[in-house]
Amino acid sequence: MGLLSRSELRRLLEHREEWCVSIFMPTHRAGAEIQQDSIRLKNLLGDVEKRLVERGLRRPEVQALLEPAYGLVPQHDFWRHQSDGLALFVSPTLFRPDRLPFDFEALTVVADRFHLKPLLPLLTGDGRFYVLALSQNEIRLLQGTRYSVGQVDLDQVPERLSDILKWDDPEKRLQWHTRTGSKVDGRAAIFHGHGVASADDPKDYILRYFHRVDEGLSQLLADERAPMVLAGVDYLLPIYQQANTCPHLMDEGITGNPEELSAQELHERAWSIVQPLFQREQQEAAAQYQQLAGADSQLASTVVPAVVSAAYHGRVAILFVSLGQQQWGTFDPATNTVHTREEAKPGDEDLLDFAAVHTYLNGGEVYAVEPQQVPDDAPLAAVFRY
């Protein structure tokens, strides 16, 4: 599984063409249901095809646009390696499928830019977290939400201690042997090699390893604000904390050998650690909105045009926005004019999606939640910076 970063979200947001197709659907990790997933995508593409034809696109052009997406339908290997949800972005010049640990509601949107609001629970601090499982044989990074978890591809992170404890000088090679003595990762250990330290300080090598892991994670998670939970045998956790530069590392970790725990077991234990943090942050944000809301308030609003304009100009500090609802319309940055409509017309976009994504990109906190969790029973609710 890959990661969607803030910079990638911005690229998707800024990608504008006459025809941008966004498809979200739930998927299964294994079993007979994967056949159902391919059928579901085929049906969703049929809906998109019909909509494009109704909007005036000629059928050969529709087929050319959707050809890469239709190409996924019969690919058995593609469906065998899914997470909990699939996000698919298609335009004349872009084709991007993302396997993500989120159980999306099936949704298709055709507009002149991509629809991104369903991704926000994966990108904001509202219920999204990481688990870094540490051992000397394996490093696993899991991305989780309240309901799901997936393993992240670690191209820039050394996965084993032996991957990085290889000296630049070919004469200086680290060798690992077990013997009676100090224990590392449950095994008695001794280090040999020219110019290396004695067997009495294996922590120095582990710390060096963890510095390399931290460097790789710093690149991978450069603009992340989601909390991270460590998992590992008890003596490894304080060593990693010495190397860590992630500002959102939780003090509490999961102790024990993570190689003996499945992703689902790690997810369950990590969720019990981060859940109070998420609940407190969301409750504090809702309380701040309620404190500022009022008939004469200039610092809080549920009025869609006002919030859309403020989000675009970077004035929204906190935004609650409803998942599964759309408010169609247009926003003209040149005139700062917002028009809303009951039903979508060509050229319209979901203004709730627009407000949420711009709030996120401008550094605001976004809570993309179920409709009943938005204050004042509105489709969105915002706290302004000024």
**Pairwise CA distance, residues 186 & 37, whole Å:** 43
Comparing CA positions, the residue from 136, 241, 138 lying closest to residue 184 is 136
Examine the fold and report which residue of 92, 123, 154 is the final residue of a domain before the chain moves on. 123
Considering the domain boundaries, does residue 103 fall inside one?
yes
Calculate mean pLDDT across residues 101-108.
86
Is residue 366 within 8 Å of residue 124, measured between CB atoms? yes
Pairing of strands 365-369, 316-322: parallel
Considering the domain boundaries, does residue 159 fall inside one?
yes
176 and 269 fall within a common domain: yes
DSSP letter for each residue of 118-142: GGHHHHSSSS-EEEEEE-SS-EEEE
Considering the domain boundaries, does residue 282 fall inside one?
no
137 and 204 fall within a common domain: yes
What's the chain's average pLDDT? 84
**Pairwise CA distance, residues 329 & 350, whole Å:** 7
Examine the fold and report which residue of 227, 247, 276 is the final residue of a domain before the chain moves on. 276
**Pairwise CA distance, residues 67 & 111, whole Å:** 18
183 and 110 fall within a common domain: no
**Pairwise CA distance, residues 371 & 377, whole Å:** 7
CA 241 to chain centre: 23
Calculate mean pLDDT across residues 278-302.
89
Comparing CA positions, the residue from 304, 302, 324, 322 lying closest to residue 381 is 302
Is residue 1 within 8 Å of residue 83, measured between CB atoms? yes
Q: In sequence order, which ranges of 313-378 are alpha helices (DSSP H)?
A: 351-361
What's the domain count of the chain?
Answer: 3
What CATH number has the domain bearing residue 345? 3.30.1330
Considering the domain boundaries, does residue 371 fall inside one?
yes
20 and 157 fall within a common domain: no
| Contact residues for 152 (Cβ-Cβ < 8 A; gap 6+) | 1, 2, 3, 130, 141, 142, 143, 220
**Pairwise CA distance, residues 138 & 373, whole Å:** 40
pLDDT one-digit tens code per residue, 224-254: 788 999 999 999 999 999 999 999 999 999 9
**Pairwise CA distance, residues 310 & 3, whole Å:** 28
**Pairwise CA distance, residues 14 & 346, whole Å:** 19
326 and 231 fall within a common domain: no
Checking if the pLDDT of 126 tops 80, the result is no
Q: What is the number of residues in the chain? A: 386
197 and 254 fall within a common domain: yes
What CATH number has the domain bearing residue 97? 3.30.960.10
**Pairwise CA distance, residues 127 & 122, whole Å:** 8
72 and 151 fall within a common domain: no
Q: According to the model, what pLDDT value does residue 249 have?
A: 96
Strand blocks (E) in the chain: 16-26, 85-91, 94-100, 107-113, 129-134, 139-144, 149-151, 175-177, 183-184, 187-188, 190-192, 228-232, 254-255, 300-301, 316-322, 328-332, 337-341, 349-350, 365-369, 380-384
Checking if the pLDDT of 67 tops 90, the result is yes
| Residue span of the structural domain in which 53 resides | 6-123
Q: Percentage of the chain surpassing pLDDT 90?
A: 54
236 and 342 fall within a common domain: no
240 and 300 fall within a common domain: no
Considering the domain boundaries, does residue 44 fall inside one?
yes
**Pairwise CA distance, residues 170 & 210, whole Å:** 22
Considering only residues 295 and 18, tell me which one the structure prediction assigns the higher pLDDT. 18
Examine the fold and report which residue of 97, 123, 149 is the final residue of a domain before the chain moves on. 123
117 and 28 fall within a common domain: yes
Calculate mean pLDDT across residues 268-285.
92
Considering the domain boundaries, does residue 287 fall inside one?
no
Q: For residue 144, what pLDDT band results from cuts at 50, 70 and 90?
A: confident
**Pairwise CA distance, residues 4 & 2, whole Å:** 7
pLDDT one-digit tens code per residue, 191-225: 333 334 444 567 888 898 899 899 989 988 887 78
Q: Compute the half-sphere exposure of residue 257: CA atoms within 13 Å on the CB side of its CA.
A: 8
Considering the domain boundaries, does residue 281 fall inside one?
no
Structure tokens given for 61 = 């052009």
Q: According to the model, what pLDDT value does residue 186 have?
A: 39
207 and 175 fall within a common domain: yes
Considering only residues 84 and 213, tell me which one the structure prediction assigns the higher pLDDT. 213
Q: Compute the half-sphere exposure of residue 258: CA atoms within 13 Å on the CB side of its CA.
A: 30
| Contact residues for 55 (Cβ-Cβ < 8 A; gap 6+) | 110, 346
134 and 200 fall within a common domain: yes
Is residue 157 within 8 Å of residue 214, measured between CB atoms? no
Q: According to the model, what pLDDT value does residue 88 have?
A: 96
